[in-house]
Structure 1
């Protein structure tokens, strides 16, 4: 049954700015926990979530490279333990962590996330979910234009293919958001709730719920 306008209006608004990178597994874990907290709190609050860009590795190659080779070069043999740890964490979420496929620069995904935030802000959160699912559980390459367009179409974002076809579209805006929301951040995920409560890391749902309460006081 749909909520009445009065019930919706009586709820306090929780605005969440999430700094995240599309190739950050803990950002996906954090989103899953945030969603649980939102589901448990939806009778108390209305939510507005806005995804902001962050680059774990701005120098990552635009062309796709093997995930395993990339992380072996970056972390040495420690990457095997890291992958094993993420596999366990993802299992806890009912997901399978896919270590196959390619990784690389995530700029195009941030361009698409920004575009979605302007064109259909109510669909941005769902788009981010689908990008995470594709990259982390299906071996999709985050820099693959076809994957990005397919994801946009799946979520119902119009004009994404045309927007992404020009490599200059959205770049300035992504850089501006990076400077505004992620300038002083050293790691992600990072959350700013109602502009005053800040959290970092893949916090459990209960921590988010406490933050909602503090931010709405």
Structure 2
């Protein structure tokens, strides 16, 4: 069994690329290897308001980027290189992710965590959904081991942000500084926008060491 700890933020473009590349690498090169993927939350904008933040304004104020297309180009090109589409101009708002991470933590107890993470990431980037909205989250989670009322209750639980923050603090204490961050066991870890070849190499090394 290959155990993978995946530290990621749902609204991070490079995490979208990393999740899909990991799935592609495992499917194409390690289909005979049983895998357990555990998602660890990282929250990049903990104070994002419920109504969301307009990404062009965020890029301008935080990074001095006046043309969002320049920031979008690299992750979009990386997605194309791996054969899947990503048009970041479709989703120009970023939303609070604590409710979505709370659902992912709950999904870990029922074996649907990785599938739900992919679905939430796709809902945000590909369908331009507000993944801070409990009804949107419930509509996604209902296909991954939850009933709608249960999923909505988890997303709306006032204790959820604190539970997520405790997990985020553990991620920070573990030294996670860049996402996506992959830990494959046996001391093998990689971070950032890694290629399919680099991900495959890390998996092979982890399997060799184990």
| TM-score (normalised: structure 1) | 0.83
Distance in 1 (alpha carbons) for counterparts of 2:116 and 2:186: 23
Where does 1:107-118 land on structure 2 (aligned, <5 Å)? 107-118=98-109
Could you tell me how far apart the structure 2 residues matched to 1:141 and 1:67 are?
13
1:120-139 matches, within 5 Å, as 120-121=110-111, 123-139=112-128
Q: CA deviation at 1:78?
A: 5.1
Residue 210 (structure 1) shift: 2.1
Instruction: Give the secondary-structure state (helix, strand or coil) at the position aligned to 2:70.
Output: helix
Task: State the alpha-carbon separation in 2 of the partners of residues 143 and 198 from structure 1.
Answer: 30
Cα-Cα RMSD: 2.0
Structure 2 alignment gaps of length 5 or more: none
CA contact (8 A) 1:135 1:142 kept: yes
Structure 2 partner of 1:28? 16
**1:71-110 alignment runs, 5 A limit:** 71-76=59-64, 77=66, 79-92=68-81, 93-99=83-89, 100-110=91-101
CA displacement at 1:58 relative to structure 2? 2.3
- Quick one: which of 137, 151, 155 aligns to 1:148? 137
In the TM superposition, 1:36-55 aligns within 5 A as: 36-39=24-27, 40-43=29-32, 45-55=33-43
Aligned twin of 2:189: 198
- 2:4, 2:194 → 1: CA distance? 14
Q: How many Å apart are 1:35 and its aligned residue?
A: 0.9
Deviation at 1:156, TM superposition (A): 3.3
Whole-Å Cα distance in 1 between the matches of residues 197 and 169 of structure 2? Answer: 30
**1:210 & 1:88 partners in 2: Cα distance?**
22
Q: Could you say what secondary structure the match of 1:83 adopts?
A: helix
Number of aligned residue pairs: give it.
201
Alpha-carbon displacement from aligned partner over 1:44-92 (angstroms, at most 9, x marks no partner) = x210000101122223323323233333332231533012333333334
